[in-house]
Structure 1
Amino acid sequence: MSVRISRQQWDGLLGELDHARRQRHLLTYRALLERLELPTPAMQTLTAALEYLAMIDARADQPLRSSLVISQGASRLPRTGFFECAEKLGRFCGPSDGVAAASWHASEVARVFEYIYPPTTTT
């Protein structure tokens, strides 16, 4: 899937994630969709942007900032696609639900909260 977002939207996404990191809280996909004015289809656009950011973070050997985005549901975990992306990047191995996924996700979120990211200059 190929989607494009503007520099302003990309910067907005990075800003929202950085604010969440500094405040040590998680964001729902819905909250991000409401705050960012992404082109239609907005959820696919957000997913593609988060996967692209995960690739940037993985290549830089940084914790995955996209782990800060979770579903509103009872699991309080990211969607299945997040875990599939993390697996493709060599960061996670296993089923995308259950104890192993929840434990890995909690660990990754803790790493994100502690990490200081350098400014992102490319998209």
Structure 2
Amino acid sequence: MSLRISRQHWQGLLAALDEARRQRHLLTYRSLIERLQLPAPAMATLAAALEHLAALDARAGLPLRSALVISQGASRLPRPGFFECAERLGRFSGPPDGMAAAAWHAAEVARVFAFEFSEASS
């Protein structure tokens, strides 16, 4: 995915994820789009930015901050694209739904909550 995100929106995304990590809560895609006021195509832009961040985190050996963003639906999991991205990065293996995905996601969220990200990882 090759959509671009402005520096202001990127910094806003990093700040929102850091705040969520510190407060130990998850964000929905919709709330993040509204908070950042992303222009159309907002979901595609957010997804591309979250995948880029996941790649940066994986390359640095860090927990995936993008795990903090979930769907509003009953599953309370990220969209399937998150798990497909994590699989491409060698972090997850399996179907993007079901018990294995939920267990891996819960463990990754716990890793993010426990990790102190530095300015250098932004």
Q: In which range does the TM-score fall when normalised by the shorter chain?
A: over 0.9
SS at match of 1:83: helix
Find the counterpart in structure 2 of residue 65 from structure 1.
Answer: 65
Distance in 1 (alpha carbons) for counterparts of 2:62 and 2:6: 24
SS at match of 2:37: coil
| TM-score, normalization by structure 2 | 0.97
Find the counterpart in structure 1 of residue 49 from structure 2.
Answer: 49
Find the counterpart in structure 2 of residue 102 from structure 1.
Answer: 102
Is contact 2:57-2:121 (8 Å) kept?
no
User: Which ranges in structure 2 are unaligned for 5 or more consecutive residues?
Assistant: none
Distance in 1 (alpha carbons) for counterparts of 2:20 and 2:2: 27
Residues 121 and 65 of structure 1: CA distance in aligned 2, closer, same or farther (over 3 Å)? closer
Percent of pairs identical after alignment? 72
Q: Deviations over 1:16-36 (max 9, x none)?
A: 000000000000000001001
Find the counterpart in structure 2 of residue 118 from structure 1.
Answer: 118
Letter in 2 for 1:18: D
User: Which ranges in structure 1 are unaligned for 5 or more consecutive residues?
Assistant: none
Is contact 1:5-1:39 (8 Å) kept?
no
* Count of equivalent residues: 122
Distance in 1 (alpha carbons) for counterparts of 2:98 and 2:37: 33
| TM-score, normalization by structure 1 | 0.96
Superposition misfits of 4+ residues, deviation over 2 angstroms? none
Find the counterpart in structure 1 of residue 16 from structure 2.
Answer: 16
The structural deviation recorded for 1:121 is 6.8
